[in-house]
A and B are shown apart, each in its own frame.
Chain A
Amino acid sequence: MNTNNNVYTIIYTTIIVVVAAAILSIAAMALKPRQQANIKAETISQMIAASGISSKEDLAKLGNDKILALYSDNIKTAFLIDKDGNKTDELETEVSSIELQDNLKMENKNIASGEPSLPVYVFEKDGAEINVIPCYGAGLWGPIWGYIAFNADCNEIVGAYFDHESETPGLGAKIKDEAWFREQFKGKKVDFDNPDKPFGIIKGGAPEGDASKVDAITGATMTCNGLDAALNTWFKAYMPFLSKKAGAAVESDACCCEGDSCDSNGEGCGKECDHQHEHKHQHNHQEG
């Protein structure tokens, strides 16, 4: 048979391509549910790692089903907010139909255009609420993203988790690999008084006592700058929501933090006050 004539060649290539396409589509359809479950479980385990309910190492040992179950057991509510911090939509949290807003790249664009639809995941840990929000941005080589967990009043960070697609191992990849980097976010605050740059990752070490700055990683300047920009962009987008929550908390606490009446107030309230006093004390110490 003459395999070189035109008709044969065209028919042959067409058949090959169609067969290949058919095989690939069947494979893709068959594997899709599993792949999506993987992605969902990965996103959820990053959130849970940030919230401190479980560690990433422990989560990695669990199967997808267990991670999804863990999520729906611990979540209180999940919803979307608009740019003014108003709730626009609820996200499903039932284990069989968990909804996530995980297209962070899209939202990153929407933040810039002013029409974001940002997710807030409210977990419950030891009776207290934990608000987890995402962030997303460009690292040195590819996208970097993460989840930041706030306390119930959104005035203190209680945990963070970061991931990346292709940062340099041993340098930029440390934002994910090095526990100390994540740990230093604990207890930090978003600086509501500085709306242009509410948070900072500082090269060469954050100034001591500054509650909204953390240390950058030596040798990973570009990745840290990227993360710094990502955090600031997203914190700014969430600012209305966060400050509303924090503002509400201050109002309800105001009773006990003014003057000496503090001691006579309820226990839960007193705790808050002690904490704030401690901070003030630290500040004085710094200045002195």
Chain B
Amino acid sequence: MAKNFFDKIRPTFSEGGKLSWLHSSFDAFETFFFVPNRTTRKGGTHVKDCVDLKRLLIIVIMALVPALLFGIWNLGFQHSKVFGLGWGFWQMVWYGFVKIIPLYLVSYIVGLGIEFASAQMKGHEVSEGYLVSGFIIPLIVPVDVPWWMLAIAVAFAVIIGKEVFGGTGMNIWNPALLARAFLFFSYPSKMSGDAVWVGGLSKALAGGTPWKGGEVVDALSGATPLSHASLDGLSAAGTSAWNLFLGDIPGAVGETSVIAILIGALILICTGVASWKIMFSSVVGALFVGWLGNVGGVTDIPCWEQLLMGGFAFGTVFMATDPVTSAQTECGKWIYGFLIGALCITVRLFNPGYPEGMMLAILLLNTFAPLIDHYVVSANVNRRLKRAKTV
């Protein structure tokens, strides 16, 4: 039925039609609902099979769903725990749901609005790349972030991070991370500290609102194990490795639960959407520096626990592997992933000002990915030249 509707209204939007200036918007909506009439030809050089870009993005979103669902429950769980409310399961889910929906609305309305507007202006087709970025952004920002801040960050990420470079596929940095970096550096007081990661807590602290049971100090000591771990060790933060793995700790919506992220990783790897090489080498890099830190006496956190903390898992699985901004060559992927993991842990260990090194590590390596590729390719060329000479 919907298909008929689209077919019926198509002439209005095609060339010469009444609303032909809106044809990019029309295309975007149509292809979002249906496989378009023209997918990439089989055997094209830039895709692995005939799945088109939009389907690819849908797979990524599906992989993100477990983390999102867990995050929604966790929002309610943390809120209930800190304020001593003793909520039931559905109450928690409902709380998380109500908290997260506005973030999604802001993210998509602002982001897609800009995408549509710029596509109209340039007369391009609207590209779907933002569907994934827009899905990730609410998962990596503090849940209480003011909507207008999120809107500015999204606008910044889409305009400066993406449209300026020519839209989807041309961007140097991962737009979702750029949005978070923008928030982090612009409004540090809303983005760091202990209170921001639990829904309603910072507002309650600022307003002095009383709540049932639970003392402020108790509530705070449990918050953000990452920032505590970098200072006084994990156990002082009152969190076990199992909690970190399961994810029932305060943190950004999507990044607390390593289990949920692993499910996503499995989906991505099985469908071949994301590169397992990047994920694997990133883990190796993190373990390596974590181990060095242990041996060198910089930290007493075992290196494997570093993998469970903060945004490492989420960043490795969903953001480092972003095909547009990561290294393209096979050998380059190994180097790129390894450096991300290594740099992330290095920042964590040596700069207490930025306990979350993952964001910085990925953005920096995004910048260097083309360089890595360049040298991998030229090394390859040289090797072959040499071989040709010796033969």
Contact = CB atoms under 8 A, between A and B. Distances in A.
B378 interface: no
Interface string B168-207: 0000000000000000000011001110000000000000
Given A218-B188, A219-B188, A204 B193 contact: yes
B353 A222 contact: yes
A43 interface: no
Interface in B181-238: 188-189, 192-194
- B interface, by DSSP: helix, strand, loop or mixed? loop
Contacts of B192: 218-219
Interface in B336-353: 352-353
Most buried by B among A204, A219, A221: A219
B194 A219 contact: no
Nearest to A170: B188
A218 B193 contact: yes
Contact of B189 (A203, A204, A219): A219
Max count, chain A CB within 10 A of own CB: residue among B193, B194, B353: B353
Chain B interface residue bracket vs A: under 10
Nearest to A218: B189
A3 to B, nearest CB: 47
A203 B192 CA distance: 12
Interface in B139-192: 188-189, 192
B193 A221 contact: no
Q: Which of B188, B189, B192, B194 has the most CB of A within 10 A?
A: B188
Contacts of A222: 353
Interface string A163-184: 0000000010000000000000
A122 to B, nearest CB: 39
Nearest to B184: A219
A204 B188 contact: no
Nearest to B353: A221
B194 to A, nearest CB: 7
Interface string A197-225: 00000011000000000000011011000
A203 B194 CA distance: 12
B253 to A, nearest CB: 23
Interface of A: 171, 203-204, 218-219, 221-222
7 contacts: A203-B352, A218-B188, A218-B189, A218-B192, A218-B193, A219-B189, A219-B192
